[in-house]
Chains A and B, each alone.
Chain A
Amino acid sequence: MKKLIGLFVFLLFVGTQIVTAQSKQITGTVTSADDGLGMPGVSVIVKGTTIGASTDIDGKYSLEASASDVLVYSFVGMVSQEITVGSQTVINVVLETESIGMDEVVVTALGVTREKKSLGYAVSEVGGDEITRSNNVNLVNSIGSKVAGVQVNSSSGTAGGSSFITIRGMASLTGNNQPLFVVDGVPIDNSMNASGNPDNGRNNLTDGVAYSNRAIDLNPDDIASMSVLKGGAATALYGLRAANGVVLVTTKSGKKTKGRKVDVTFSSTVSIDKISQMPDMQYKYAQGLSGDYAGADGPWWKMFSWGPEVSSLEYDGDTSYKWDPRGRLVPKGTGNGMAAKTFDKEDFFDTGVTYNNSVGISGGSEFASFYLSASYNKSNGVVPENDYEKKTFTLSSDFKLSEKLSLGAKANYINSGGTRIQQGSNLSGVMLGLMRSATTFDNAAGYEFEDGSQRNYRGGGGYDNPYWTANNSQLKDNVDRLIGNINLKYEFSKNLTLSYRVGIDTYTDKRKSHFAIGSRAVPDGQVQEDEHFQRDINSDLILSYTKKLSDKFNFSAVAGHNMFSSYYQQVYVQGDKLTIPKFYHTSNAASLLVRESVTEKRTAAWYGDLGLDWNNMIYFRVTGRNEWSTSLPEGENSFFYPSTSLGIVLSEISALKDLTWLNFAKFRTSYAIIANDASPYGTFTTYDQAAYGDGSTNGVTFPFGGQPGFAVGDGLGNGELKPEKMKSFEIGFELSLFQNRLSIDAAYYNNQNEDLILWVPLSGTSGYTDRLMNAGEMENKGIELLVSGTPIKTSDFSWDVMVNFTKNKNEVLKLADGVDNVGLGGFTGSNMRAVQGKPYGSVYGSDWVRNDAGRVVVDAYGMPELSQVEVELGSALPEWTMGITNSFTYKGITLSALLDIKHGGIMWNGTKGVLQYFGTHGVTENRGEQKVFNAVTADGAENTTAITLDENWYTGLGNGWYGPSSQFIEDAGWTRLKEVSLSYEFPKSLLGDSFVKSLSLSFTGKNLWLDTPYTGVDPETSLMGASNAQGLDYFNMPGTKSYIFGLRMTF
């Protein structure tokens, strides 16, 4: 009996052992802590082995494991869990989302989502919520100040105006410096096309209207997230166009889910805009010259604002005087007693109103998901008649055709356009006419007489009455755009996926512009029909493979093939000398000018990306891309460029792993070589349609007298053109401390740009004016710092601070042999140049005669002298920029403020230079003021002789035309309260069982406070729009401040 019991016990014991050594079937469901729903794609692995499974669409999994095994449940973005099997056969797991800052995922090149910690280079994310909260019509404006290393300059306070964005400085001398915009894996066009006679070249940007950059077509409410890829390694896979960085936009899509689920989001905002700052004007002296009053009917050469004091004049009440309903202005005592009035220039501007409404519907079932949205944006600008309208429709859908095959399609149709007003250096420009107007002339009292002639302060001559410009000289544009893509994905296995994506971006931009008969810029009237057509097609075939080489080693590889084609066509028709008033049609023109232009290019590339990571600690990546382009010479049109990056997560090292105050520490470094393509048609010298204009006049064009004519092209082509090259090095670290209460992300980068393609000016005696060469070298070095933290955090209240700081130093190292500067645009007397040894975009102009010590030299009368040599006056590029965001959250209320600081960078205040000549600028109010120039006399002694700053001075050397432009170079740095927003999210308890799932109200103020030494309009402005020549202000439109009220609902 005892033996039996012993045997039984023994058997039990052994049996138990045997039971535990055996593997068994383990099943279970993995759900998400957020919504309790099953999570597909979660990896369940037996620790220490390569045995594992993935959860299915319902979150269910099943695998073989033994009791002593430990199962590891992991999914990107969620906190991993490890559970010992033990006696369980059903193990259900709830996964929590990883707290932001450590295992955050970002979208990287080619749309591949990676854990941020695995990257060896810099990527910044701007979330969809932040973008919609910013309420910008132009997407580009949502990026600036939020991302270190990015500088955005919006060109005007006009509805539909463009914004210029650079990442880590300018990398190309004459080519495109803006980053590539990629939407859902498909690059899209972000050009800014100017209108006007193409023969006038860059002059079409100094006068004309404010154009849009095409990224404005995107609906910000469609965006789920935006990644800004900054370093060379981040963008190497995109090839030639990504040397300036990439803005990766991911739009919203539906979510596949069990059952059927539909979400609707509706948002509506109303924005009120008012102009921000204007130059200081004088209202003490009336129209006239040398103290004599001269009205609009006076001699034209007396029509300045150098007249007598306004207080010494009164009206005579003559109702037959057509220039002023109140009558002529006569000396006090000789009229009807009604005191003379002055008219505030700021009254010209309206209050602008912008409405934006958008609705988005997303939903999904088990096998399909979709996202549908429609939005309507209508902006009325602060300049009368300036408006902009945008309608967008998006439909994107995803279908799971089978276990392994899925198909997605997306179409985004946009119709946008507006009425744009003439600006800049344009006799018909609105600011030019407004600001030069004499103090005592009331522009608002009428701009047109019954006979159609113009009513302005110059008696119909000079410059247009701004109301005339706003009503009679408009450009209307209408853009129809389609951005679409189809993508297919086939999963051979969990480790091997083949995907194909083909996308199209095509638009037609039709513009009609006119100048009424009697407009000062074109007195005979003019009508322009300008049509731009663009079609870009992009195709990517990608094979991706992952393999777990061992317990700690993971390997991933991507191989791809890309084909891209771009076709652009412009047809421009200009009809001059109109007869029938207000009939703006080419049939009304006495002479017609037609120009057409086509630009076409194709590229193809093979690319590959290999990654190796060890133990969640060391991440190593290598990429290579070989590209062919039609814009390079035959036989020399292929080039290869590699990149490599390394990230080391120091906080995973056992010694550091357990530190409670150090949550995350990573070191990263990368090196990449990227190429930037040449523009098409540079390899040959062409014959050009003959046209001759000089700096002062438009000139003549062919066909002339019924005869066509050609001239040998002025640009010498280069049959040995190579792509531009950028060697980019980056090193940085990321730290997260004190339970993620403090995070620091710092980077240093050094980008060397070589073989930069530029039109190198030549001596005209060569027979040509320029030659296209790979000659330039430029470098950008800088640091980017992002510090964010949560100083206070309680259960109900938190205070978050985010500071980003960028310092970029750009230097043009070399241009070409014998060339030390290249013009970028501007005027004689103030122009932008790339100069050897100086930062890109240096402003050049005239200055006073100075002695060797740099002191201004005055003559015996204390007067300085204009020097005939152009010198460098400064750089428009900032020394550093910083953005500080403070946000306070209490229960459902969020208050946040973004302070944007720009330090350094000058601007040429050309407006002031001219307004001093006309006597309308505020500085001329103190007429007769004595001033001793800070200078020395010819023999070196300190100057003590005063000169009189009177009319003679301001119409002589004291203005921008006869005097040096150095007088008008000003510091254009600023500190501004860029955004202040207060939002309230209704608590779920209040919404209860109603169909409304969430409701939030918000108020945002933009640009409410600006502190700047610049005396002109808001210095965040650019005369030439999104072009390389920033830093000029010549009658630019004023900036605006906005008050935005918004409502957002999901149900």
Chain B
Amino acid sequence: MKRYNFKFLILSLVVVLATSCEKWIDPAMNESPNSPADVPMSLILPGAEAGIAYSAGGELSRYSNYWMQQISGVQSHASGHEIYILLESDMDNLWKWYTYAGQLMDLKRIMDKSVEEGMESPHYSAVAKILTAYKLGVSTDVWNDIPYEDAFQGETTGQLTAAYHTQEKVYEIMNTLLDEAITELGSTESVFSPGSDDFIYGGDLDMWKKAAYALKARFAIHLSERNGDAAYTAALAAIPNAFASNADDLQFTFGTATPENAPLFQYDEQRPGYIGGLGAKMIELLKNGGDTDPRLAIYAKPLADGSFVGHPAGDPLDEASMVGDYFAKADATVMLMSYSELKFIEAEANFQLGNLPEAATAYNDAVKASLAKYGVSNETWEAANAAATAGTISIDMIMTAKYIATFLQDETFTDWRRYDNIIGLSIAKGANESEIPRRFPYPTNERIYNSENMPEYGSITNHVWWDVN
């Protein structure tokens, strides 16, 4: 009897265990509870915008700002960057988190979702394309040849690398994207449209259209050394449809709450003393030979004795004026492209085509717009410094004033390269290179994991395609 009971007991235990096993090992348990299975476009767009802005006001512009001597790096890694030590490992985060695996991937996801059946949203597609064009622009301008069309296939086809396009091709792609976006913005039907999730324009499609044209103008004039007059003509063609005032600026404003603080503010707070202040050249230009630019007090903070001092590049530690609160505060605004820049493009294009009166007017508007942006419009000063005429206007004036107006933006580096150091920066003391560099290195990540596609680029003093001279 005992033995019979025992066998039955074992058998029933086995049966119970075997069946409960299936419910116990529940495959649904491996779906992460910490992540949604799918996310609407309205929750991807804000992240992409914040990321683009954080990078634009952070690493992307910081390195070129040191080289352009607008600010000065004086301690630790920053002082290395000032004397042109830029390692491939410095590029990894920027390339991966802020470009390809980061914002460009997210924008591509928006574009893919915007054409899904039942979800057709050309408005979202347009905004994503404009931001993609912007991002490709700032990326190719520092890295020359970059991938795009062959990229983002990790999950779809399983292709883990991507072929590079020539910079010429990238510019074509950027323009196509902008043209398509402009058409899509005109669509009357869009299942979803950006709204409060759009930090930049709050869903205003007209503003986005102006931004698209503004970027077209910018990209056109970048090819000035390659296309000559055609570049200037193309730029002028786009300008009428672009920004009409400072209110149209393509910009992103950060917040005072700690998780929303602006990149420069965070850098000063968490890496104190790395930035030693404004560059000597910048301060000199703002002092304007005695007729002080009203923007000096906005760009820089005075020293204890009220004076403004700039730090020459490569000099040892010394006192200098730190970046002004407008740019360095927690809720600062990072400028992606301004109306002022657009006016400078107009001035330059007109000048190069021989339309001197139009060039002078555009120049004056540009300078006034820049002062107005910071609330320091000054009729007296403008009468002396923003009153060019067809007779007085020169490319020197335009590009110098543009250098001042694009303070802390990555566009400064592009202009400096196009006009071959027209503002006359001297090489930093103790420089690690023989001349001021002209591009960023490719990241370690590409050299190791995409070696068959990554082109040889020589060194950071090599020119990008549109930088002929």
Interface residues of A (CB under 8 A from B): 289, 299-302, 461-462, 492, 498, 520, 523-524, 541, 543, 561, 563, 565, 576-577, 590-591, 593, 596-598, 600-604, 628-634, 637, 680-681, 683-688, 690, 692, 694-702, 704-705, 707-714, 716, 761-769, 771, 818-821, 828, 866, 868, 870, 961-962
Q: CB-CB < 8 A to B50: which residues of A?
A: 690, 692, 700, 702, 704, 709
Whether the Cβ atoms of A684 and B32 lie closer than 8 Å is yes
Residues of chain A contacted by B260 (CB below 8 angstroms): 591, 700, 704-705
Q: Which residues of chain B from 18 to 36 have any CB-CB distance to chain A below 8 Å in the complex?
A: 21, 24-27, 29-36
B101 A767 Cβ-Cβ under 8 A: yes
Cα distance, A713 to B35, chains bound together (Å): 9
Most buried by A among B31, B108, B274: B31
Contact with A along B159-195 (1 / 0, CB 8 A): 1111000000000000000000000000000000000
Q: Which 10 A-B pairs have the closest CB atoms?
A: A690-B47, A686-B35, A591-B257, A576-B258, A766-B154, A763-B450, A709-B47, A765-B162, A764-B100, A764-B96
A765 contact set on B, CB distance < 8 A: 100, 147, 150-152, 161-162, 446, 450
The residues in B between 256 and 290 inclusive whose CB is less than 8 angstroms from any CB of A are 256-261, 263, 266-267, 269-274, 276
In whole angstroms, what is the CA distance A687 to B151 when docked? 19
Max chain B CB contacts within 10 Å: which of A596, A603, A868? A868
Name the B residues within 8 Å of A707 (CB-CB).
46, 196-197, 199
What class of interface size applies to chain B in its complex with A?
35 or more
Roughly how many angstroms separate A630 CA and B30 CA in the complex, as a whole number? 6
The docked-state distance in angstroms from the alpha carbon of A830 to that of B95 is 21
Q: Which of B33, B273, B318 contacts A600 (CB 8 A)?
A: B33
Are B10 and A543 in contact, CB atoms less than 8 angstroms apart? yes
B72 within 8 A of A: no
Which residues of A have CB within 8 Å of B38?
Answer: 687
B87 at the interface (CB under 8 A from A): yes
Whether A769 contacts B98 by the Cβ 8 Å rule is no
24 CB contacts below 8 A, A to B, read A301-B273, A462-B272, A524-B258, A576-B257, A591-B260, A593-B259, A630-B29, A690-B50, A694-B98, A696-B59, A696-B77, A697-B271, A700-B261, A704-B260, A709-B47, A710-B39, A710-B43, A710-B44, A712-B109, A716-B154, A766-B160, A767-B155, A769-B96, A819-B448
Of the residues A520, A543, A687, contact of B35 by C-beta under 8 Å = A687
Known A766-B152, A766-B153, A769-B97: A598·B33 in contact at CB below 8 Å: yes
Cβ contact within 8 Å between A711 and B96: no
Q: Say whether B445 contacts A763, CB under 8 Å.
A: yes
B48 touches A711 (CB 8 A): yes
Q: Which residues of A contact B451 (CB under 8 A)?
A: 818
Contacts of A543 in B (CB 8 A): 10
Q: Contact at B30–A681, with CB atoms within 8 Å?
A: yes
For chain B, residues 103 to 161, give those with C-beta under 8 angstroms from any C-beta of chain A: 104-106, 108-109, 147, 150-155, 159-161
Contact of B258 among A565, A593, A629, A818 (CB under 8 A): A593
**Which chain A residue shows the least CB distance to B79?**
A962
Residues A695 and B47 in contact in the complex (CB < 8 Å), given A763-B449, A766-B161: no
Q: How far is the CA of A289 from the CA of B59 in the complex (A)?
A: 30
Which one of B2, B25, B266 contacts A602 once the chains associate, using CB atoms below 8 Å? B25
B102 located at the interface, meaning its Cβ lies under 8 Å from any Cβ of chain A in the complex: yes
Structural contact, A767 and B445, CB atoms closer than 8 A = no
- What is the minimal beta-carbon distance from B445 to any residue of chain A, in angstroms? 6
**Are B162 and A704 in contact, with the CB atoms below 8 A?**
no
Contacts of A590 in B (CB 8 A): 256-258
Instruction: Pick from B34, B101, B318: contact of A769, CB below 8 A.
Output: B101
| Seed contacts A577-B257, A771-B160, A870-B444; 13 additional CB < 8 Å A-B pairs | A289-B317, A576-B259, A684-B30, A687-B39, A692-B102, A697-B270, A704-B46, A762-B154, A763-B446, A763-B450, A765-B150, A769-B96, A828-B89
Residues of A within 8 A of B151 (CB): 765-767
Q: Which of B43, B59, B446 interacts with A694 by CB under 8 Å?
A: B59
Contact between B48 and A697, CB atoms less than 8 A apart:
no
In the complex, the answer to whether A634 meets B273 with C-beta atoms within 8 Å is no
| Contact, CB under 8 Å: A699 / B54 | yes
B88 CB-CB contact with A under 8 Å: yes
Among B153, B255, B269, point to the contact of A705 (Cβ < 8 A): B255
**Bound-complex Cα distance A700 to B151 (A):** 26
- Would you call B105 and A767 a contact (CB within 8 A)? yes
- CB pair B273–A300 under 8 Å, yes or no, is yes
Cβ-defined partner of B43 (8 Å) among A709, A762, A961: A709
B450 touches A541 (CB 8 A): no
Residues from chain A with a CB closer than 8 A to the CB of B256 are: 590-591
Contact of B44 among A299, A597, A694, A712 (CB under 8 A): A712
Contact of B30 among A680, A704, A868 (CB under 8 A): A680
- Report the Cα distance A701→B254, complex, angstroms: 11
Q: Which residue of B lies closest to A597 (CB)?
A: B34
B17 contacts A by Cβ under 8 Å: yes
> Which residues of the other chain, A, contact B12 by a CB distance below 8 angstroms?
none
Q: Which residues on the B side are within 8 Å of A634 (C-beta)?
A: 27
Contact between A701 and B199, CB atoms less than 8 A apart: no
The B interface, classified by DSSP as helix, strand, loop or mixed, is helix
Contacts A707-B199, A870-B89; A604 near B162 (Cβ below 8 A)? no
Partner of B27, one of A577, A637, A694, A771: A637
Contact (Cβ within 8 A) B47 A711 = yes
Check B4 for interface membership: any CB of A closer than 8 A.
no
Q: A868–B448 Cα gap in the complex (Å)?
A: 15
Q: Please indicate the chain B residues that have their CB under 8 angstroms from the CB of A961 in the complex.
A: 76-77
In the assembled complex, which residues on chain A have CB atoms less than 8 Å from the CB atom of B108? Answer: 767
Interface flag for B462 (CB, 8 Å) = no
Chain B, Cβ-Cβ closest to A564: B24
Does B409 reach chain A (CB closer than 8 Å)? no
A contact residues around B35 at 8 Å (CB): 681, 686-688, 713
Check if B319 is an interface residue, CB within 8 A of chain A. yes
Instruction: For the complex, give the distance between the alpha carbons of A711 and B38 in Å.
Output: 11
Is B310 at the interface (CB under 8 A from chain A)?
A: no
What residues of A have a CB within 8 angstroms of the CB of B98 in the complex? 692, 694
Max chain B Cβ within 10 angstroms of own Cβ: one of A596, A631, A711, A818: A711
Which of A300, A763, A769, A818 is B162 in contact with, Cβ under 8 Å?
A763
Q: Is the CB of B43 within 8 A of A768?
A: no
A597, A690, A763, A771: most-surrounded residue (chain B CB, <10 A) = A763
Evaluate contact between B154 and A523: CB separation under 8 angstroms. no
Chain A residue contacts of B21, Cβ below 8 A: 604, 628
Of A771, A821, A962, most B-chain CB atoms within 10 Å? A962
Contact indicator A761/B445 (Cβ below 8 Å): yes
Q: Measured between alpha carbons, how far is A762 from B443 in the docked complex, in Å? A: 12
Instruction: Kindly list chain B residues whose C-beta atoms are within 8 Å of the C-beta of A680.
Output: 29-30, 32
Cβ-defined partner of A301 (8 Å) among B254, B257, B319: B319
Q: Which of B235-269 contact A (CB under 8 A)?
A: 254-261, 263, 266-267, 269
8 Å CB contact of B34 from A492, A596, A820: A596
CA distance A520 to B270 in the complex (A): 9
Q: CB of B99 within 8 A of chain A?
A: yes
- Does B8 count as interface, using CB distance less than 8 angstroms? no
Q: Which of B17, B32, B79, B155 has the most CB of A within 10 A?
A: B32
In the bound complex, CA of A687 to CA of B6 (Å): 52
- CB-CB under 8 A for A694 and B93, given A301-B318, A765-B450: yes
Verify if B13 is at the interface (C-beta below 8 Å from A).
yes
The answer to whether B445 touches A764, judged by C-beta atoms less than 8 angstroms apart, is yes
CB neighbours of B266 from chain A (8 A): 697-699
From B36, B94, B101, A687 is in contact (CB under 8 Å) with: B36
Chain B residues within 8 Å of A563, by CB = 24
Among A302, A709, A714, the one with the most B-chain Cβ atoms within 10 Å of its Cβ is A709
The reply to whether the CB of B314 lies closer than 8 angstroms to some CB of chain A is no
Q: Which B residues lie within 8 Å of A828 (CB)?
A: 77, 89-90
Name the CB-closest residue of A to B107.
Answer: A712
- Chain A residues within 8 Å of B89, by CB: 828, 870
CB pair B95 A764 closer than 8 Å: yes
Taking CB atoms, residues of chain A closer than 8 Å to B199 are 704-705, 707
Provide the bound-state CA to CA distance between A633 and B30, in Å.
8
